[in-house]
């Protein structure tokens, strides 16, 4: 089992289920800020930080039937779940999986998974911009809302959650 795939499976095992592709992208991006062992590169995209590499890995897991996405006509109902085969694979390789240290982030994974995708988008975008603009809230707010005005009503909540979870970039 490839390490990147094992990390994704471990994350899904902890989360239980992650709704929407956008949400899994933002959770992993934010976990990386706490030094979680994910190696995917992210760039700024329409819905905030996005990794095409991560998307390919998810597609591979889906193609190999290790994850079972369910969907409907409403894109927000797309959910990622582990297949029974993936659960057995993780259990049979528990020692190796534990060495990946994804389980060190169980609490944060569960906490982030509770948030709506739009709040995660706002949080991840703020963190992405912190790398360029520093952590001055007003300067960041202006930069973020300039390209993402639809986040106006949730920016302050996203900022507060980043504070609470200690996810701001330490410059």
What are the pLDDT tens digits along the chain (171 aa)? 477 888 888 888 888 888 888 999 999 999 999 999 899 999 999 889 999 999 999 999 888 888 877 765 555 456 777 888 888 888 888 887 777 788 789 999 999 999 999 999 999 999 999 988 887 899 899 989 999 999 999 999 999 999 999 999 875
Of 130, 122, 121, the residue nearest 169 (C-alpha) = 130
What is the predicted pLDDT for the residue at 43?
Answer: 95
The structure tokens listed for 73 are 């006509």
Of 11, 25, 87, 78, the residue nearest 56 (C-alpha) = 25
Q: Report d(CA 28, CA 69) in Å as an integer.
A: 18
Does this model's pTM top 0.75? My answer is: yes
The structure tokens listed for 49 are 């930080």
What is the predicted pLDDT for the residue at 1?
Answer: 47
Is the four-CA dihedral 44, 80, 94, 14 of positive or negative sign? positive
Q: Where are the alpha helices (DSSP H) in 16-136?
A: 21-33, 52-63, 84-92, 94-99, 106-113, 117-133
Q: What is the DSSP string of 137-160?
A: HHHHHHHHHHH-GGGTTTHHHHHH
CB 132 within 8 A of CB 34: no
What is the predicted pLDDT for the residue at 3?
Answer: 79
Mapping DSSP to helix (H, G, I), strand (E, B) and coil, where does residue 80 land?
A: strand
What is the predicted pLDDT for the residue at 167?
Answer: 94
Is the four-CA dihedral 126, 131, 136, 142 of positive or negative sign? negative
Q: How many residues does the chain have?
A: 171
What is the predicted pLDDT for the residue at 78?
Answer: 61
């Amino acid at each position: 089992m490839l390490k990147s795939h094992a990390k994704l499976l471990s994350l899904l095992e902890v989360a239980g289920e992650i709704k929407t592709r956008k949400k899994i992208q933002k959770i992993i991006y934010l976990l990386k800020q706490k030094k979680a062992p994910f190696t995917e590169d992210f760039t700024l995209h329409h819905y905030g930080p996005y990794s095409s590499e991560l998307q390919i890995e998810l597609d591979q897991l889906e193609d190999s039937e290790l994850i079972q996405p369910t969907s409907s006509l409403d894109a927000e109902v797309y959910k990622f779940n582990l297949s029974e085969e993936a659960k057995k694979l993780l259990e049979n390789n528990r020692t190796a999986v534990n060495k990946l240290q994804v389980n060190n982030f169980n609490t944060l994974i569960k906490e982030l998974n509770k948030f709506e995708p739009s709040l995660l988008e706002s949080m991840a975008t703020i963190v992405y911009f912190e790398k360029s603009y520093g952590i001055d809230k007003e300067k960041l707010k202006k930069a973020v809302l300039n390209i993402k005005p639809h986040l106006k009503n949730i920016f302050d909540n996203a900022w507060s959650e980043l504070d609470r979870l200690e996810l701001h970039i330490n410059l």
